[in-house]
Amino acid sequence: MSDSPKTCTVKRHVMVDAHITVTPPPYVGRYARTPEEMMSALQAWAEEFGAFLRDHRSQDANIFDVEADYKDLCSACKREFLAYVWTEDGKDHCSDCGALVEEEVARVQ
Ligand SMILES: [Zn+2]
C-alpha cells in the first residue's frame, strides 16, 4: 500500500448545469401565508400558464431567464468540492473523497 495520499486539484467555477427561471406576476401567491400555500399557488399558476402557452401564439412579453449553475469540482471524485481541514495534518482535503488539495502540497514544499 502506498504512503502518498490521494491528491486532487480544485476546478473552480465550472458550469455544471443550466436552467430557466420563469417569474410569475407579483399577484400570484399574494395571499399565501405559508411556504406550502405558496408552493400550491405557484403550481396552480404554472399549470395555467402552461395551458395558455399550448393554446395561444401570444405576443405578450414573457420573461424567461436562462441561467447557468456553477460549482467548484474536485478533480479526483468529480463531485462538488467542499474544503475540509483534516485535524491530522491541518491541510485542506476534499470533504467527499478525502483527496489532499495539490495547492496544499505545493504550499508546503
Ligand atoms: Zn473529491
Query: Domain ranges in the chain?
Result: 1-12+73-109
Measured in Å, residue 99 CA sits from the centre of ligand 1 at: 6
Rounded to the nearest integer, the mean pLDDT of the chain is 86
37-89 tens-digit pLDDT: 999 999 999 999 888 888 887 666 667 788 999 999 999 999 999 999 988 88
Measured in Å, residue 13 CA sits from the centre of ligand 1 at: 15
The span from the CA of 92 to the CA of 71, in Å, is 17
pLDDT in the model for residue 1? 46
pTM greater than 0.75:
no
Checking phi first, is residue 31 left (phi over 0); if not, alpha (psi -120 to 50) or beta?
alpha
| Locus of grid cell 401564439 | 57
Residues near ligand 1 ion, CB 5 Å cutoff: 74, 76-77, 94, 96-97, 99
Measured in Å, residue 92 CA sits from the centre of ligand 1 at: 11
Measured in Å, residue 86 CA sits from the centre of ligand 1 at: 14
